[in-house]
Amino acid sequence: KQEVTQIPAALSVPEGENLVLNCSFTDSAIYNLQWFRQDPGKGLTSLLLIQSSQREQTSGRLNASLDKSSGRSTLYIAASQPGDSATYLCAAVLMDSNYQLIWGAGTKLIIKP
Amino acid sequence: GAVVSQHPSRVICKSGTSVKIECRSLDFQATTMFWYRQFPKQSLMLMATSNEGSKATYEQGVEKDKFLINHASLTLSTLTVTSAHPEDSSFYICSARVPPLPYEQYFGPGTRLTVT
């Protein structure tokens, strides 16, 4: 059974720092992996999608990497800002699950001004 | 990116009544939509997969007769919570899968349901 784990569960850093959020998955037979952002009481915003054949994707200050062999993905946020404060969720799509998302529990990120 | 809307954003209803939540894909056709439920400080729980023109596929433990899903068109799926009880109070989120592969999912803004 595929499990997705996110560490840490919560993270608080001063504004301006670079930071890394971690996501691990138990089954390397994934189709793709998505990173999402959720603000309190809101829906999800898709940040980055990495296909299984890719190693990384970049969007602005965000960079997501994927290492299928080790079962890990990281989301790197450069020069963090208070507006980056949110819960970040990763989700893996399995090849044999009708492309359903398997969710991590999320990392709650607080950027202190 | 693709836009998914939900209506209403918030709804308060009395115990025993039914509530309908709409999920629309605004600028694309979605043959597959998903309905999730999220409890406070928890991740999303998949309730069902909604396929246009066919019956929804429910996850284990989700009551089909209580959570009615209809996907009558390529841009609209509805979730009806029947005979709502306070324990049904939650945040309901829909998503639409964008073809073709790699089938990225886009999410609606969610609906906060409170049953009194």
Query: For A1-23, what is each residue's pLDDT tens digit?
Result: 778 999 999 999 999 999 999 99
Residue A97's pLDDT is 67
Residue of chain A nearest B10, judged by CA positions: A41
Write down the mean pLDDT value for chain B: 92
Only one residue has tokens 């729980």, namely: B45
Q: Residue A38 is which amino acid?
A: Q
Distance from the Cα of A42 to chain B's closest Cα (Å) equals: 6
Contacting residues of B for A86, CB less than 8 Å apart: none
Q: Determine the Cα–Cα distance for residues B85 and B18; give it in Å rounded to an integer.
A: 10
What residue of A is the nearest CA neighbor of B6? Answer: A43
**Distance in Å, alpha carbon of B30 to nearest chain A alpha carbon:** 14
The CA distance from A9 to the nearest CA of chain B, in Å, is 11
CB contact under 8 A, B49 and A104: no
Give the model confidence (pLDDT) of A27-72 as tens digits: 878 889 999 999 988 889 999 999 989 999 999 999 999 999 999 9
Find the CB nearest B102 among A45, A51, A100: A51
B95–A44 C-beta distance less than 8 A: yes
Q: How far apart are CA B53 and CA B70, in angstroms?
A: 9
- Provide the pairing of β-strand B111-115 with B90-97: antiparallel
Q: Inter-chain contact B102–A46, Cβ cutoff 8 Å?
A: no
d(CA B58, CA B66): 11
The answer to whether residues B65 and B56 touch, using CB atoms and an 8 Å cutoff, is no
Contact B107 A43 (CB under 8 A): yes
Nearest to A44 among B1, B93, B102 (CB): B93
pLDDT along chain B (116 residues), means of 10: 91 97 92 91 89 90 94 92 96 89 85 96
